[in-house]
Structure 1
Amino acid sequence: MLFQVYGANAATQWLGWVMVFVALIALNEFARRSKAGGLIMFAALPAVMTVYCITVVTAAAMGASWGVNNPTVVFANGWFHYAKVYAALAGCIGFMAIKYRWGKIGKARWFRAFPFVIVAINILIAVVSDFESAVHFFTGNYTMLNGSPVWTTSEHITVVTGWHNVFNGIAGLINIFCMTGWWAVYSSKKKDDMIWADMTWVFILSYDVWNFCYTYNNLPNHAWYCGFALLLAPTVANALWNKGGWIQNRANTLAIWCMFAQVLPQFQTSMPELGVDSPFAVQSTMNANANLTVSVISLVANIAAIAYIIYRAKKQHVNPFTHEVFAGTRDYEQAKTRIDEFDKEAVLAV
């Protein structure tokens, strides 16, 4: 078992998972179906969150007790959380510019590579975090907990460190190059989605496995939600009703979750010694063997994905980054039918 979802709080923990999963899908649908919904979720709410975070961090720096003891300051004030939330929000706004063809930038061919760039940045943020954890192992800066080497972050999270961080960090670097057809990104016919048809199940599966492993390795008390519910929400949407829109769904749900976790980290936190003990909190098993297993699976999955992409590219005699390589596959063809051909022709003309 990967998580401690048993005992007195098991029913509540599963209820929390269902609530997060359903809420992410519902809010993503609200955000993607109209300009107003997108601007509320990814412009108005982030502005409010930013003011809130600046206020509490400033209060903490000045020594005010209400700032020092604020949950955001105590549990979500590390560099990773801030980098992740704003990188995700940048993706959401950029994707809206493409799907609504806002201004010259939304119509420009060169900007169609923005989704690749922002996803690569998001992956690199996590890779750096994985390697940061690995450094603690190789420098001996760790303690032992139930037979596993661990270290504690500035946000009071106990993290298992070891070779698994290296394996998954490498998997993340490979995953960046599992994105193909970097410029083949278009608006949908209904203008409700940004479609990246060449981003098929090959990338989605390799990404989901890698990202789950990242959260499991480095956010063991968050992975039940951000590594399970959060990853599954856009994948289910892409599989059932939003083919080709996975990356937009992923950015939307990631930004929504990160904002929630930034402002209300106590929802998924159980640290009675710090005055927080949520019945929804779920901890991983904190077993180095479990971390190593999921990391090896992540690395193998990404090696298999990049090998398959290279195989298809060579077979078609194309560069997989400047050309689409999954044409003819079921995922690609279903997504292609949703593309606005006018947008495609107009972009190619710019």
Structure 2
Amino acid sequence: GEIWQGTRDGAPGEGSLFYRLEFEAEGKVSILRQSGGFNKTEIQNWHLENGQVVIHSNPGDEITDFDNATMTYTDREEMRFTSGDSFSNFHKWYKTNAYLHVLFVLFGLMLLNELCRHSKYANYIIWFVLPIALIPLFASYGVTYWFKWVKLYSVVGAAALFTLIRFTKVGDMKWARFGAAAFLAINISEAVLQDFSMGNIANILNAIGGILSIVTLAGWAKIHADKSKQKDMVWPAMTTFWIIAYDIWNIVFVYLNFPGSATAQAMVLIAATLPSLFIKKGTWLQARAFTLAGSFMYYFICPFMYESHVVPVPRNDELMLLAGLASFIANAAYAFVFFRKTKEQRLASALS
């Protein structure tokens, strides 16, 4: 049978909802719903009525999202889901296309990062001109959730600031270096608040991991544009251990709160981490801003591509708890190493 998938924005503090519908013979449909701490698969009933797909739950079912909703075909590959005042799109899912899209996101963002490293003018076009010129296109796709708009322009703003740090005298100003680090700290803080608002043990463990990630940020005053041909913005004090612990924390955050985005966001993280570890060390924050801003602009330009190619990940209460625990352990381990080293340096300084 056909497989259809869709995502919806949840209530404030709820994260997003991911659905996977596997239509079976004789009017049965297997529905997977993932959101926050909810992970359920139920067999329900469906039929066609006046060109619409109608789904009914059974007595005792926990997934009742489709009982009073309408699902109308907009074309052969898309259905519009409407429930009350909210709506979202469901897309017919093709496994090969979905996995190819994951690779496209990874390599596309890595290429974007290298373009921005090597071309001064590409930075000004991508981070200054396009975000303004494309507003009518962004608005035309009906992305109404305010949080997504805030995220888009906050990360684009960071990429623009980093461009000024690299190519202008702004890089000599202390406030600009602080702003670069503040972008990262604020980005983490927003996610920490989201995790705490969920209230699940896994989310709380991950939130603590995020706090540890913030308090172990160090050396922001040494952020600068180097003297290479690319004039990369480097953060010498940013360690590989911190980056890996951050990556674990971030992917766990998305896994717990936005399950439909977990695979794609993992590629966004990897697209920043690989270049900063194997192409040029010290450039992780720069790469993170470029790849994250690029991914948001891609989503706003063509939300269909993201929404129709979701690769679902295994998810249950046990896996979520293990993920939260892994995030906590990784960041606690780095915090232990960080504070021990800091204490040793202070002791050595006092004795010298």
Q: One fold, TM greater than 0.5?
A: yes
Aligned counterpart, 1:37: 122
Residues 112-127 of structure 1: pairs in structure 2 closer than 5 A: 112-127=177-192
- The answer to whether structure 1 residue 80 and structure 2 residue 165 are counterparts is no
- The answer to whether structure 1 residue 315 and structure 2 residue 339 are counterparts is no
Aligned counterpart, 1:111: 176
Aligned counterpart, 2:197: 132
Alpha carbons 1:80, 1:129 under 8 Å: kept: no
- The answer to whether structure 1 residue 220 and structure 2 residue 259 are counterparts is yes
Task: Spell out, residue by residue over 1:182-215, the C-alpha distance to the aligned partner (whole angstroms, 9 max, x if none).
Answer: 2011112124310101101021011100000111
Task: Spell out, residue by residue over 1:81-136, the C-alpha distance to the aligned partner (whole angstroms, 9 max, x if none).
Answer: 22222221121111112221x24x331234322221111111112222223333xx
Residues 296-307 of structure 1: pairs in structure 2 closer than 5 A: 296-307=325-336
Alpha carbons 1:126, 1:214 under 8 Å: kept: yes
Aligned counterpart, 1:90: 157
Q: Which amino acid aligns with 1:127?
A: V
Aligned counterpart, 1:262: 300
SS at match of 1:317: helix
Q: For residues 194 and 87 of structure 1, what CA distance do their matches in structure 2 show?
A: 18
Aligned counterpart, 2:132: 47
Q: Which amino acid aligns with 2:346?
A: H
Structure 1 residues 285 and 49, CA, compared in 2 at 3 Å: closer, same or farther? farther
Q: For residues 314 and 305 of structure 1, what CA distance do their matches in structure 2 show?
A: 14
- Highest RCO, 1 vs 2 (Cα 8 Å, sep ≥ 6): 1
SS at match of 1:290: helix
Q: Which amino acid aligns with 1:290?
A: L
Q: For residues 250 and 229 of structure 1, what CA distance do their matches in structure 2 show?
A: 12
Aligned counterpart, 1:184: 222
SS at match of 1:199: coil
Residues 167-206 of structure 1: pairs in structure 2 closer than 5 A: 167-189=205-227, 190-206=229-245
Q: For residues 295 and 45 of structure 1, what CA distance do their matches in structure 2 show?
A: 37
Q: Which amino acid aligns with 2:324?
A: S
Task: Please state how far the C-alpha of 1:219 moved relative to its aligned partner.
Answer: 1.3
- The answer to whether structure 1 residue 22 and structure 2 residue 107 are counterparts is yes
Task: Spell out, residue by residue over 1:122-178, the C-alpha distance to the aligned partner (whole angstroms, 9 max, x if none).
Answer: 1112222223333xxxxxxxxxxxxxxxxxxxxxxxxxxx22111112211111122
Q: For residues 213 and 130 of structure 1, what CA distance do their matches in structure 2 show?
A: 10
Task: Please state how far the C-alpha of 1:317 moved relative to its aligned partner.
Answer: 0.9
Task: Spell out, residue by residue over 1:34-61, the C-alpha distance to the aligned partner (whole angstroms, 9 max, x if none).
Answer: 22111121112211333334x44xxxxx
Which of 160, 163, 167 is 2:201 aligned to? 163
Q: For residues 95 and 122 of structure 1, what CA distance do their matches in structure 2 show?
A: 15
Q: For residues 129 and 78 of structure 1, what CA distance do their matches in structure 2 show?
A: 15
Q: For residues 167 and 298 of structure 1, what CA distance do their matches in structure 2 show?
A: 7
Q: For residues 172 and 303 of structure 1, what CA distance do their matches in structure 2 show?
A: 10
- The answer to whether structure 1 residue 292 and structure 2 residue 321 are counterparts is yes
Aligned counterpart, 1:67: none
SS at match of 1:243: coil
The higher radius of gyration belongs to 2
Aligned counterpart, 1:207: 246
Q: For residues 78 and 292 of structure 1, what CA distance do their matches in structure 2 show?
A: 28
TM-score by length of 1: 0.69
Which moved further from structure 2: 42-51 or 116-125? 42-51
Aligned counterpart, 1:252: 290
Count how many residue pairs are aligned between Structure 1 and Structure 2: 259
Taking only aligned residues, the RMSD between alpha carbons, in angstroms, comes to: 2.4
Aligned counterpart, 1:237: 275
Alpha carbons 1:268, 1:282 under 8 Å: kept: no
SS at match of 1:183: helix
SS at match of 1:297: helix
Alpha carbons 2:99, 2:311 under 8 Å: kept: no
Task: Please state how far the C-alpha of 1:291 moved relative to its aligned partner.
Answer: 1.4
SS at match of 2:313: coil
Q: For residues 9 and 294 of structure 1, what CA distance do their matches in structure 2 show?
A: 28
Structure 1 residues 79 and 166, CA, compared in 2 at 3 Å: closer, same or farther? farther
Q: For residues 170 and 49 of structure 1, what CA distance do their matches in structure 2 show?
A: 38
Alpha carbons 2:105, 2:267 under 8 Å: kept: yes
Structure 1 or 2: more strand by fraction = 2
SS at match of 2:282: coil
